[in-house]
Amino acid sequence: MSNADIAVIGIGVMGSQLALQLEERGSSVALFDEFSPQAAQQLIDKEEGKRFVTAQGLEDMLALLAKPRKILLMIKAGSPVDDYIEKLLPLLDPGDVIIDGGNSHYEDTERRCKRTQEAGVHFVGTGISGGEEGARYGASLMPGGAEEAWPIVKKELTSLSAFAYDETACCHWMGAGGAGHFVKMVHNGIEYGCMQLLGEAFHVAKHILQKDHETIYRAFTSWKDGPMAGFLMEITADILGKKDAETGEPLVEVILDRAGQKGTGRWTCQLALEHGISVPTIEAAVTTRIISSAPQQRRTLHAHLPTLSLPTEGLPSLDMDALQNALYGATFCTYIQGFHILQRASEEHHWQLPFADIARIWTGGCIIRARMLEDFRALYEDTQTPDNLLGSALFRDIWQQTAASWRQVLLHTTAQGVPTPAFSSALAFVDAFRQPVLPTQLIQAQRDYFGAHQYERTDKEGRFHTHWLAGNTLTSDPV
């Protein structure tokens, strides 16, 4: 076979599964793995009859491709991507396309777009969500980069996608430069927040409501068919139903509570701060994973610091229905925080992100797919929806339905010393935005006191500075 439609470089777990799906959906595929050359041949031997070819070197592999050539990099993010770009550029022609399908930082993608443009080669950074299963049977794809490349790669990338609830492909062009990888990064940040909330809900059911494992498993199983329906809810129920083969105990109970992270959640928090957007629930999720990485410290401090709990008599009663209700409200807030980052970034980078389509393609294939995303698509299709999604009529209804349960959860967890940072930060996020006056009134006065940073008044226009030390002039330089 000659003139393969696309090349996949990096035949690891994700690369091999994407290659299989590309072939099954109509593309002939050239396989190449410089560091594990046997991987490509093993896949060909295993999948006999597939339209796969391989080659010993890059030049030979490129010679197998139809023009304009399309190369999908499924390799480790960071310097390996830059290394491959530099290897490929001398061998490519103007109009060829390099696609980075890894979890690259969006600023790296912006830089690579400029670098390849100098050679007339197009660069596409595409977020791919769905894990190994999504790579094999349909993922959610968020491509962005050189606009001229989209008509060239649309067929192949769309063929890799799952289908949304309305049967449309979960693949949509995000915009220029690093737009695609930025959207994928925010997707992962939302993922962190949602996972943390589910972990906390399990913890509350176990340690506050004192439910046995079987009861919790049955409750979570029922929740996956309700308003919390989605992939993470489904896998959480599946996890709770799994028994450890060695002990016969629920497997989750023998897993060390040290959660790893690869960086996209941290990037989301960093960039939210840089863009002036509040994402406290995502930040709480990242921080909790950091704390979880020190199990010995936590066990030592558990013995050192008593709980000093408060009596719970007289508190409103809490049950599993109220916990589900609170989980729904807090999860919806986590998605709001993610979309707020996307809105600000789109404005600052002039990306014109397609928010309704982002919500749509996230309803299938990806890790954060959930029924509530259909509500977000409707919000963005409504031209009257405010920039701050907390101000929408939809969220007002959700708030009225969930606030009491949410507060009940936190009354009990605070009184009994059970940490629920995602639940509490999500509630504080709403409460802060709904306050006409915040404690920052005093903070600005403090800033003016020690730094002459000035302040605005509530009763007149302009900026003002007070000499707070009677009879003295502050030595700080004015702004």
> Does 460 qualify as catalytic in the annotation?
no
DSSP 430-463: HHHHT-SS-THHHHHHHHHHHH---EE-SSSSSE
Q: From the CA atom positions of the chain, what is the Rg in Å?
A: 26
Task: From the candidates 23, 191, 234, 283, give the one annotated as an active-site residue.
Answer: 191
- Torsion (CA) 151, 155, 160, 163 in degrees, nearest 10: 90
Among residues 23, 70, 156, 184, the one annotated as catalytic is 184
Q: Is residue 99 a contact partner of residue 70, using CB atoms and an 8 Å limit?
A: yes
User: CA 88 → CA 34, 78, 93, 97, 476, distances in Å?
Assistant: 13, 16, 10, 10, 56
Look up 224 and say whether it is catalytic.
no
Residue type at 77 in one-letter notation: A
CA dist 193 and 197 (Å) reads 6
State residue 352 phi and psi, 5-degree precision: 55, 55
Give me the phi and psi of 400, to 5 degrees please. Answer: -65, -30
Token pair belonging to 279 = 């994402």
DSSP reduced 3-state for 479:
coil
Residue 257 backbone phi and psi in degrees, to 5: -80, 50
Beta-sheet strands, E only, within 319-391: none
Long-range contacts of residues 288-291, Cβ cutoff 8 Å, at least 24 apart = 288/196, 288/259, 288/419, 288/421, 288/422, 289/192, 289/259, 289/260, 289/261, 289/265
β-bridge partners, 144: 125, 175
What is the residue whose two structure tokens read 């996209």? 264
**Positions marked catalytic:** 184, 191
